[in-house]
Structure 1
Amino acid sequence: MAQTVIIRGDVQRILAKSIIDRAPVDAVVTVKEGTRSLDQNAKLWAMLSDIARAKPEGRTMSPEVWKAAFMSALGYEIVWQPGIEGAPPFPAGFRTSKLSKSQFADLITFVMAYGDRHGVQWSDGAVQ
């Protein structure tokens, strides 16, 4: 049976160790940083919407396209797919849900710095 433990302190660390001690031969253990939080995700989308409304550098792009632009600028792989029946290409291959909390924090910092440089007025929920 698979078990997941989120290590928030000593109690969870002890539990994780005891699970490993009881694990059968050939069991696989993976330890990784947790992925982005729902609060981080909400903050990013508010910021992307603020940037889309501000149209910095005269760019009229949806929040989704801004997200792809920022992910690409940070070096995350973006794949452009041809649109259906003559529609314009669309970005694919990026998933912020796969980013760790620290990677997501870096993305938010990058978006915030860009917006600040271009005079974006942040909505109440975007920048805290």
Structure 2
Amino acid sequence: MSLPSFPLRTEQDRARAILILQKVDLTKGITWTMREEVRSDAQNRRMWAMLRDISRQVEWYGQKLSDEDWKHIFSASVEKQRAVPGLDGGFVVLGVSTRRKSKKWFNDMFLVMEAFAAERGVKFTTADHWGIAA
């Protein structure tokens, strides 16, 4: 049996989930998982717009970094990630994918990005360019 996947936002959604779970055959070995909603398309567009603005306006220790580089820096900050020595010298940040991060996680990352940008005088493009309302 394939269980449907849908967001739980209303009491009607909760009731629907309860009805589905009540019909599950417990002898079938079903696994059921709940998780926070992952980032929205609007959050994804906002993240890349902010990263683009930062990459164009900030020099980091004498280097211009790509949007992707900045994504790693900010996600590492939110995750409190560790860096370990690389095999051939330098350091490697133990990575994290943002693809399945929750909406709340993204809001935390936006706060880090906004604080960083404010300290360095970065001017963000308007919310219109992010594809979301301000």
Q: TM-score interval w.r.t. the shorter chain?
A: 0.7 to 0.9
Partner residue of 2:48?
Answer: 45
Q: For residues 2 and 77 of structure 1, what CA distance do their matches in structure 2 show?
A: 35
**Identity over aligned pairs, percent:** 26
2:71 is the counterpart of 1:67: yes
Q: What are the ranges of 5 or more consecutive residues in structure 1 without an aligned counterpart?
A: 83-88
What letter matches 1:64 in structure 2?
Answer: E
Q: What are the ranges of 5 or more consecutive residues in structure 2 without an aligned counterpart?
A: none
Partner residue of 1:103?
Answer: 105
**C-alpha RMSD over aligned residues:** 2.6
Q: For residues 42 and 82 of structure 2, what CA distance do their matches in structure 1 show?
A: 24
Q: Deviations over 1:18-75 (max 9, x none)?
A: 0110011132211111001000010010000000111245541001000001111222
Provide TM-score, normalisation by structure 2.
0.78
Secondary structure, in 3 states, of the residue corresponding to 1:34? coil
Q: For residues 82 and 69 of structure 2, what CA distance do their matches in structure 1 show?
A: 11
Contact 1:65 1:91 in 2 (8 A): no
Q: For residues 77 and 42 of structure 1, what CA distance do their matches in structure 2 show?
A: 24
Contact 1:79 1:93 in 2 (8 A): no
Measured at CA, do residues 63 and 9 of structure 1 come closer, stay the same or move farther in structure 2, by a change above 3 Å?
same
Deviation at 1:11, TM superposition (A): 1.2
Measured at CA, do residues 117 and 8 of structure 1 come closer, stay the same or move farther in structure 2, by a change above 3 Å?
same
Q: For residues 93 and 67 of structure 2, what CA distance do their matches in structure 1 show?
A: 12
- 1:1-128 map, 5 Å: 1-25=2-26, 26-57=29-60, 58-75=62-79, 77=81, 93-124=95-126, 125-126=129-130, 128=134
Contact 1:79 1:92 in 2 (8 A): yes
Instruction: Give the total of aligned pairs.
Output: 122
What letter matches 1:11 in structure 2?
Answer: Q
